[in-house]
Chain A
Amino acid sequence: MIPQNLGSETNIKLPFSFILFSIIAMILSQTLFLVNGESLINGIYRIPAIWSAAHLFILGWALMIAMGSMYQLVPVAFLTPIWSEKFGFIQFGVTAIGIVWFAGALYISPESALIPGVVMLAGILLFIVQMGMTLRKQAKPNILTIFVGSALLCLFITIAFGITLVISMNTGFAGSYYTSIFKSHILIGTAGWFTLLIFGFSYKMAPMFSLSHGYPMNLAKYVFGMYAAGLIMVVLSFFLDHSIMLTGGFLLLLIGFSLFLYHISIIVKKRIKKKLDRPFSFALLAIIFGEIIHLLAFIAAVTNTLNVFVGPLMAAYLFLWIAFSIIGYLYKIVPFLWWTHKYSQIIGKKDVPALKDMINEKLALPLFIIFILGVGIVSGGLVLGLAVLFYIGQSLILLASIIFGGAILAVMKK
């Protein structure tokens, strides 16, 4: 028997700082999308207000939540404490100031976004340093380390591409590769950073939330191999302008994602907990959405129509796969964080609530339905160019964001 004791839980103020910031960014970004509906319906995406909203959503919400969740999950999943909590608070401050300043600059005067952009990127770099130093301390690296480590590498590459884009815009440097770098920036930032991160943590959280036991893990290395190879091939196709390579890359991404779906389905089938809770089911639903989007992207690549469908596909990927995964898991993570803060010193002495009593689970189903309806109606509005559909759908997303934020804040009253 190998005894092991831990003391690796993170100061709750650190992950909560990120989560509270992200709730505000989510509501603000969805409001900005709503009030700029006319531009979106007319296919005008490259205007300052939309840039601002998109960056607030992707960086202010999704990235900040991912960072906050990692401050909590990395120590417990990798059995190693965070390298430096003090450094974590500094990193939060720099990144938060950077994102607010950057989004504000994009809205008011995009030409002055360089310095705030650099501050924001510095904050993200500090995060990579923090996590890199933390993962280095892990006693026994495993497949999760590969997923999370590669996700961090992708985040670094995304930043490198982002800086190159800014320099290119200002100086003309690598101007002939601007479009290739831009596409790679988006791909590696979404399918690289977010997806590999969600894959990695799903392998930890899915068995925990379903109490699964006796499932094989060998498929995970094939999931990683296929998906990583797909990412590399698609990036190469952007730079070489090679359509067959692009199709091949999307095929590898589809195979990698399908293997992940299959693997998670095996894990869930091996579960001991009979009834899955709704937030976790929502995260599982996001995987099915992700599979459909990968299939559609591959079909678009085969039929050479990727240019036509890339906008709706990206939006679907961001909302239905990445955002829904995050929302589903966050509904589980936040109650756990607050429970640990409030009850970990009382457990064993007095009665303590269950995690499901910490958050309004009855709200979960209608909330998730409103999100799905909202995204569906917005997509319909954008594809058909119908303003009324867009406004109804976007209002639903904003409403769901506010309810979601309220549900998260209400946990702190428990």
Chain B
Amino acid sequence: MNLQEQVELVEKIRTNLKKVIDPELNINIVDLGLIYDISLLEDRVAAITMTLTTPGCPLHDSIVGGVKYCLLEMEEIDDVDVQVVWEPAWSPEKMTEAGLRAIGR
């Protein structure tokens, strides 16, 4: 896979991750600013670095699971490694404009 194809796949992953919704806020996790990094470890193996709005979020396992299911549904991906990190902590500045609009800002 050349660099251009890798960039396109990362963007496709980002778009697909919008299918994962935080059910409390009803906003997708990309617009909520939870996705810190998307990379490809190998051709068909994705690595996601993400956070949650707060440590001890009751939806931790569900959202992380959702990210995995979402990527494994893609025909270009065979495996995915999801790392949840708390540093840097999530802040509202990480939200996209669409995310802010969705919560009435």
Chain A contact residues, CB within 8 Å of chain B:
1-9, 72-73, 76-79, 204, 207-209, 211, 213-214, 272-275, 336, 339-340, 343-349, 351-356
Q: Which residues of A contact B84 (CB under 8 A)?
A: 3-6
| Minimum CB–CB distance for B81 against chain A, Å | 10
Could you tell me if B25 and A273 are in contact, using CB atoms closer than 8 angstroms? yes
| Minimum CB–CB distance for B31 against chain A, Å | 13
Which of A72, A273, A348 is within 8 Å of B69, CB to CB?
Answer: A348
Could you tell me if A272 and B103 are in contact, using CB atoms closer than 8 angstroms? yes
**CA–CA, A3 to B53, complex, Å?**
15
| Minimum CB–CB distance for B37 against chain A, Å | 10
**CA–CA, A346 to B54, complex, Å?**
23
| Minimum CB–CB distance for B53 against chain A, Å | 7
Which A residue's beta carbon lies closest to that of B67?
A348
Decide yes or no: A208 and B66 within 8 Å by CB, A6-B60, A8-B61, A213-B91 being known contacts.
Answer: no
Which B residue's beta carbon lies closest to that of A73?
B58
Which A residue's beta carbon lies closest to that of B55?
A79
Decide yes or no: A345 and B65 within 8 Å by CB, A1-B49, A3-B83, A274-B104 being known contacts.
Answer: yes
Q: Which residues of B contact A213 (CB under 8 A)?
A: 53, 90-92
Q: Which residues of B contact A272 (CB under 8 A)?
A: 92, 95, 103, 105
**CA–CA, A187 to B55, complex, Å?**
33
Could you tell me if A76 and B104 are in contact, using CB atoms closer than 8 angstroms? no
Which of A8, A274, A354 is within 8 Å of B23, CB to CB?
Answer: A354
Q: Interface on chain A toward B: helix, strand, loop, or mixed SS?
A: loop
Which of A3, A78, A208, A343 is within 8 Å of B62, CB to CB?
Answer: A343
What are 20 A-to-B residue pairs whose CB atoms are below 8 Å?
A1-B87, A2-B87, A3-B85, A4-B86, A5-B84, A6-B61, A76-B56, A76-B58, A273-B103, A274-B105, A336-B59, A339-B23, A346-B69, A347-B21, A347-B69, A348-B67, A351-B19, A352-B21, A352-B23, A354-B23
Which B residue's beta carbon lies closest to that of A354?
B26
Which of B62, B73, B103 is within 8 Å of A211, CB to CB?
Answer: B103
Q: Which residues of B contact A346 (CB under 8 A)?
A: 69
Which of B58, B91, B103 is within 8 Å of A214, CB to CB?
Answer: B91
Q: Which residues of A contact B90 (CB under 8 A)?
A: 213
| Minimum CB–CB distance for A205 against chain B, Å | 9
Q: Which residues of B contact A76 (CB under 8 A)?
A: 56-58, 60
B75-97 interface (Cβ within 8 A of A): 82-87, 90-92, 95
Q: Residue B40 at the A interface, CB < 8 A? A: no
> Apart from A6-B84, A348-B66, what 10 extra A-B contacts exist at CB < 8 Å?
A4-B55, A6-B64, A77-B58, A272-B103, A273-B103, A275-B104, A343-B62, A345-B69, A347-B66, A348-B68
Q: Give me the 4 closest cross-chain CB pairs, A-B, nearest first.
A: A274-B104, A348-B70, A347-B66, A348-B66
| Minimum CB–CB distance for A254 against chain B, Å | 30
Q: Residue B20 at the A interface, CB < 8 A? A: yes
Of A9, A204, A347, A352, which is in contact with the most chain B CB atoms at under 10 Å from its CB?
A: A347
Could you tell me if A336 and B58 are in contact, using CB atoms closer than 8 angstroms? yes
Could you tell me if B25 and A343 are in contact, using CB atoms closer than 8 angstroms? no
**CA–CA, A345 to B62, complex, Å?**
7
Q: Residue B5 at the A interface, CB < 8 A? A: no
Which of B20, B56, B103, B105 is within 8 Å of A347, CB to CB?
Answer: B20
**CA–CA, A123 to B89, complex, Å?**
40
B23-62 interface (Cβ within 8 A of A): 23-26, 49, 53-62
| Minimum CB–CB distance for A328 against chain B, Å | 15
Which B residue's beta carbon lies closest to that of A270?
B92
**CA–CA, A355 to B65, complex, Å?**
17
**CA–CA, A8 to B64, complex, Å?**
13
Q: Which residues of A contact B83 (CB under 8 A)?
A: 1, 3
**CA–CA, A122 to B81, complex, Å?**
45
Q: Which residues of A contact B10 (CB under 8 A)?
A: none
Could you tell me if A348 and B87 are in contact, using CB atoms closer than 8 angstroms? no
